[in-house]
Chain A
Amino acid sequence: MSEQEYTPKSKVGKWFNDRLPLLTLANHLTDYPTPKNLNYWWTFGGILTFCLITQIVTGLVLAMHYIAHADMAFQSVEHIMRDVNYGWLIRYIHANGASMFFLAVYIHIFRSLFYGSYKSPREVIWIIGIIIYLLMMAAAFLGYVLPWGQMSFWGATVITNLFSAIPLVGEGIVTWLWGGYSVDNPTLTRFFTLHYLIPFLILGLVVLHIWALHVPGNNNPIGIDIKKPSKDTVPFHPYIVIKDGFALLMFMIVFAFFVFYTPNILGHADNYIEANPLVTPAHIVPEWYLLPFYAILRSVPDKLLGVIAMLSAILILAALPWLDTSKIRSAVFRPLYKQFYWILVADVLILGYVGAMPAEGLYLLIARIATAYYFLHFLVVLPVLGFKERTTPVPLSITEPILGGSPNLAAVKKKDSF
């Protein structure tokens, strides 16, 4: 939007563009100046867009065959698997697509954490991203309930009961969410409605996310402000389009591996048993992408505090731009932060692992230590590090470190004398 005025070449194009400047928008997106040092961690935005569209398209098709009724939902899913032409394929893409979506979003989030993409002036992009992430979790949970298997039913029971921890009004809220005194048909029909709605809300937020991104432009691996357009940038098309496209192909290979070779490995066998309100499965475990938060919930021995800890673990991310006091964005120039970053990654993986294990003995102890460390990282380590850490020198531009060698000594000297 900072580029020069764009005029379509054809008369018709000009006529249309004067009335609705869609071509200007297309031109903005094609020519958009992008840092030329973006690495493959930056390709996950495009991959996530692909995931969202895949979920919406397969979801629409599944909704043509699925029946949202407690007596028929389970049968209708089996009907999709066995009778509907390519129903198995569409359902497996949708079910594994959720996991792939989360895989990509976690890489995307940890990319931001490493390169400081959440820092000024990109706070709003980051917060919109957190809202998208919350909506993704809601959509995934609601969708998991729809097949009306044992895990669906008991997952729905456990998650909705989280609200009963709220003092005074909790029980009333849970009854309201259920539309009854337990998870039952009214719960299923409303969950279906909301599961259908949320992806479109996400789509809207993705537009805002990209819009907000295009105001300051992309962050980059060395985390410095760059002039755009300049020698430090390349046009989005074809450079980034090709790079994103190649990464997407690699990602689709992983996706296809799960869909075609091991479509049920990320699910739970108990969900192929129809929902039974009288029997809780011996091990209730959420889907893998929610395990770290589940571990935090279980590590606190008090019901209300456990729920608060779990929610805080997600919401604390929204405060990250203000908790991280360092002015330097990229971990490349922050030797201490880089180490704490990898400890955090390990901590989250450990939480995920113990979240899948029974909440007792050594597992519980590990979960408690890992939970404490998680909050320590955001509430103590990050604020203190910004003041204490000795960062290494940050280059003035993307090209400087490369030109800093022999070929252009004069330019380097000139810069140094500033």
Chain B
Amino acid sequence: MSEKKNNRRDFLFTATYAVGAVGAGAVIWPMIDQMNPDASVKALASTEVDVSTVNPGKTITVLWRGKPVFIRRRTPEEIAEAKSVKIEDLKHPEKDEDRAKNPEWLVMLGVCTHLGCVPLDQKGDFNGWFCPCHGSHYDTSGRIRKGPAPTNMEIPEYKFVDSNTIKIG
């Protein structure tokens, strides 16, 4: 008799806690999720860039989703240098062909994968980019070669709309 009573009470407690937890979660989640990117931020997803004026050996920087994107028209020497690197020498092994579909054009996020600074063009030990914040060196393919950054600079989704226009995003 008394055991049965206890079971009934235990059930009520458990059910109350469970409903309370679900209710608390339902209140907390909107409070957390409101900090995620809002609709207006998400709407700025893609951007088109005219690259007709970019000569070989030049880089332009465009803003996409608030971040810089480097569009570099690489010289033949740079392409050769990027291709000649042995894949096993790389901290984050990626072939140059996979990073630059059209080897003349390197399109990548100009954001150091260490802590998000913008690396400087044509600097560092590998003729590519150098991040002034904590000393990461990238090669002519934007691959990490030396320093604290864990991965190569990211390649965003992009395509050539025509021979002079790149659509990023």
Contact = CB atoms under 8 A, between A and B. Distances in A.
A180 B68 CA distance: 14
Contacts of A303: 114-115, 148-150
A359 B134 contact: yes
B66 A277 contact: yes
Nearest to B135: A359
A158 B149 CA distance: 12
Nearest to B36: A176
A158 B148 contact: no
A182 B65 contact: yes
Given A277-B63, A298-B148, A303-B149, A158 B36 contact: no
A190 B35 contact: yes
B63 A278 contact: yes
Contacts of B36: 175-176, 179
If over half of B's interface residues share one DSSP class (helix, strand or loop), that class is named, otherwise mixed; here it is loop
Contacts of A302: 148, 150
A13 B120 CA distance: 70
A177 B35 CA distance: 7
A181 B35 contact: no
A282 B132 contact: yes
Interface residues of B, number: 28
Interface string A252-280: 00000000000000000000000001111
A179 B119 CA distance: 23
A181 B67 contact: yes
A306 interface: yes
B30 interface: no
Given A284-B117, A359-B134, A180 B148 contact: no
B23 interface: no
Contacts of A298: 134-135, 148
A160 B134 CA distance: 15
A358 interface: yes
B71 to A, nearest CB: 13
A301 interface: yes
B146 to A, nearest CB: 9
16 contacts: A157-B116, A157-B117, A158-B133, A160-B116, A161-B116, A179-B36, A179-B37, A179-B41, A180-B37, A182-B66, A186-B35, A278-B63, A282-B120, A298-B135, A303-B115, A360-B135
Interface of A: 154, 157-162, 164, 175-184, 186, 190, 277-284, 298, 300-304, 306, 358-360
